[in-house]
């Protein structure tokens, strides 16, 4: 069942097209990753889908509701954590959570129960009495995400939720979100950290210059665009003449960090590697270390954005 259905959705500001006729379909009960470079249209798309701004054209169906004509119906069913910091400076952590539950009309007994659980889940117990203005950036971010779970929702929008979090807090949040999705929650997730998307997301869309350039699973993206591998060779001693020996090999890109490190990029990595090893052996050049690294999601992302920029 689709949770989000978008058709030819656009948002323009004068002559600037922030979002340009995008098509999206997000299934319920999954984490949908939305990736793109700065200024690509990610935050504008989230503001459209959460009905914070109206579209210039196109249609949006969110949770089975026409979101263009019935925005208020949508807002009662979703949660939103935007990229910008949002907190009540003079309220303590626990009072901030309780206030948020009150805003959503959560009964007092249930509020107390959820509050105590969220303090544990987001590692906030030791700072529960601290005012938000006295917290670190990472602590405020944890409170900002945690308070969204004070109310029931079917769909949660998270825009760069791990900004300011240390690696341990980041992983705890990702694991928390994974468990929430198992209960039926759908999450629309933007991030600049590609390893997060690979770990968390069931499906990923990449947007650039207001247009979606691909939608697939992380494994699907690797299968389609990740044939290229990176081979690293470290020599025992500096041999600058190796550059001329390898310069005529085709179907690969060879970088030289210095006279001892060779980095090869190729979709025919195994074949290219055999050629290079033969040349090194023929020239009597000894290898100290060799490794082959499969293409990861970050490599694919950067490659696709570069190609999209060159096409335009």
CATH at residue 75: 3.40.50.300
What is the pLDDT, as a whole number, of residue 112?
97
Same domain, 101 and 248: no
For residue 257, pLDDT over 70 is answered with no
What is the pLDDT, as a whole number, of residue 302?
74
Same domain, 248 and 216: no
Q: Is residue 302 part of a domain?
A: no
Q: Is residue 312 part of a domain?
A: no
pLDDT-derived band at 62, boundaries 50, 70, 90? very high
In whole angstroms, give the CA distance from residue 290 to residue 287.
Answer: 7
Same domain, 6 and 51: yes
DSSP 8-class letter at 285: P
Mean pLDDT of 166-187: 94
- Based on the number of CB atoms within 10 Å of its own CB, is 36 exposed (0-12), middle (13-18) or buried (19 or more)? buried
Q: Which of 270, 310, 261 is nearest to 289 (CA)?
A: 261
pLDDT digits (tens, 9 = 90+) for 217-250: 988 887 776 666 777 888 887 777 777 777 778 7
What is the pLDDT, as a whole number, of residue 59?
95
Joined tokens for residue 118: 């969220």
Percentage of the chain lying above the pLDDT 90 cut: 58
Say if residues 19 and 49 touch (Cβ distance below 8 Å).
no
Say if residues 173 and 187 touch (Cβ distance below 8 Å).
no
Domain count, the chain: 2
Same domain, 258 and 188: no
For residue 213, pLDDT over 80 is answered with yes
Final residue of a domain: which of 203, 223, 243?
223
Supply the CATH number for residue 231's domain: 3.30.70.250
Whole-prediction pTM: 0.79
User: Residues 6 or more apart from 60 whose CB is under 8 A from it?
Assistant: 4, 5, 6, 9, 48, 49, 66, 67, 68
More confident residue, 146 or 284: 146
More confident residue, 109 or 287: 109
Same domain, 151 and 199: yes
Say if residues 160 and 192 touch (Cβ distance below 8 Å).
yes
Say if residues 146 and 115 touch (Cβ distance below 8 Å).
no
DSSP letters along 149-209, please? TTS--SEEEEESTTTT--HHHHHHHHHHHHHHHHTT-EEEEE-S-HHHHHHH-SEEEEEET
Mean pLDDT of 15-44: 92
**Phi, psi (rounded to 5 degrees) for 48:** -65, -50
Domain of 261 in residue numbering reads as 227-294
In whole angstroms, give the CA distance from residue 140 to residue 134.
Answer: 9
Same domain, 109 and 184: yes
What is the pLDDT, as a whole number, of residue 276?
82
Say if residues 9 and 198 touch (Cβ distance below 8 Å).
no
In whole angstroms, give the CA distance from residue 241 to residue 113.
Answer: 70
What does the mean pLDDT of the chain come to?
88
């Amino acid at each position: 069942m689709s949770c989000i259905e978008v058709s030819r959705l656009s948002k323009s500001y004068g002559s600037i097209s922030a979002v340009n006729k995008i098509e999206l379909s997000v299934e319920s009960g999954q984490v949908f990753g939305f990736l793109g470079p700065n200024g690509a249209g990610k935050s504008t798309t989230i503001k459209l889908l959460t009905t914070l701004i109206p579209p210039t054209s196109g249609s949006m169906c969110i949770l089975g509701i026409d979101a263009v004509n019935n925005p208020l119906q949508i807002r009662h069913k979703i949660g939103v954590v935007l990229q910008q910091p949002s907190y009540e400076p003079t309220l303590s952590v626990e009072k901030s959570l309780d206030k948020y539950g009150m805003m959503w009309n959560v009964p007092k007994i249930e509020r107390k129960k959820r509050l105590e659980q969220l303090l544990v889940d987001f590692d906030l117990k030791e700072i529960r009495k601290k005012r938000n203005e006295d917290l670190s950036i990472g602590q405020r971010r944890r409170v900002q995400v945690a308070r969204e779970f004070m109310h029931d929702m079917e769909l949660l929008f998270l825009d760069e939720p791990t900004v300011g979090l240390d690696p341990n807090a980041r992983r705890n949040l990702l694991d928390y979100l994974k468990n929430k999705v198992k209960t039926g929650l759908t999450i629309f997730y933007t991030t600049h950290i590609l390893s997060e998307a690979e770990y968390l997301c069931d499906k990923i869309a990449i947007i650039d210059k207001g247009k979606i350039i691909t939608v697939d699973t992380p494994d699907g993206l690797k299968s389609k665009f990740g044939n290229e591998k990176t081979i690293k060779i470290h020599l025992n001693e500096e041999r600058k003449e190796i550059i001329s020996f390898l310069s005529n090999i085709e179907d690969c890109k060879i970088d030289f960090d210095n006279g001892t490190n060779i980095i090869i990029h190729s979709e025919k990595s195994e074949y290219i590697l055999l050629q290079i090893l033969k040349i090194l052996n023929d020239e009597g050049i000894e290898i100290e270390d060799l490794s082959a690294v499969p293409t990861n999601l970050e490599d694919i992302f950067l490659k696709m954005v570069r190609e999209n920029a060159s096409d335009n």
